[in-house]
Amino acid sequence: MNRRLDPDPRRLPRHVACVMDGNGRWAQSRGLARTEGHTAGEDALIDTVEGAADIGLEWLTVYAFSTENWRRPPSEVRFLMGFNESLLERRSRELHEKNVRIRFVGRRDSRVPRRTQARIDEAIELTGNNTGLTFTVAFNYGGRAEIVDAAAALIRDGVSAADVDEAALVRRLYDPEMPDVDLVIRTSGEHRVSNFLLWHMAYSELVFTDTLWPDFRRGDLYNAICTYQARDRRFGGLNC
């Protein structure tokens, strides 16, 4: 049920990140192929992105394909590459018209088909000057890989050990402008992080829902934001 609460617009999280999980189980519970669950996840994604833009959220990041998802059967991996490519081709313009700025984080390795990379570049280019929601897709993304890649960049750039600090490392993450994540939402009843945005999640609030991703809608996003707004964030200090 997408029961809807209205978040307080003055206390919105700046950055919400979503682990879109449960597509396979959604399909299997209906006697469908797992890939049908990924297809059904598209409506959830678009409604969530547009719902985020409508309430004035600044940053929304979604986990679309992890560095560990290559372990899946080749047919599912192939489907996910093609599906993401076609989703971008069909939906980028509509998001552009909503003033959404599309970005990507992840490794651009040779396993990602060239056509998929081309659609990614086109979406970034088309929407790069937009000023509304920044919608980031984590694709071939791993939190550990991101930190390792940043460490390698520090060495390549000749930064001395004495000059390595958090700011120097952040400048070498996939998107140095990406703010820390305030709220992580994971669907499908799984209570884990699965290598998502490890650096940015250091002080995130975590909200888990049993809803499977294809059933998720903006109302679920708003409910999660209300849960977040009822939390007491202390960042290691004391609120008194």
Shortest separation between residue 6's beta carbon and ligand IPE, angstroms: 27
Which of residues 20 and 123 has its CB atom nearest to ligand IPE in the complex? Answer: 20
Which residue sits closest to Mg ion, CB atoms considered? 21
Which of residues 22 and 132 has its CB atom nearest to ligand IPE in the complex? Answer: 22
Q: Does the annotation mark 6 as catalytic?
A: no
CA distance 44 to 56: 18
Tokens of 83: 């599906």
Q: Does the annotation mark 21 as catalytic?
A: yes
Instruction: Using CB under 6 A, list all residues that contact ligand IPE.
Output: 19-25, 63-66, 69, 80, 188, 190, 192, 194, 213
Binds Mg ion by CB under 5 A, chosen from 16, 18, 20, 21 = 21
Which residue sits closest to ligand IPE, CB atoms considered? 24
Catalytic-labelled residue, pool 8, 47, 54, 69 = 69
CA distance 108 to 141: 9
Shortest separation between residue 7's beta carbon and ligand IPE, angstroms: 24
Q: What length does the chain have?
A: 240
Catalytic residues: 21, 69
Residue numbers at the binding site for Mg ion (CB under 5 A): 21
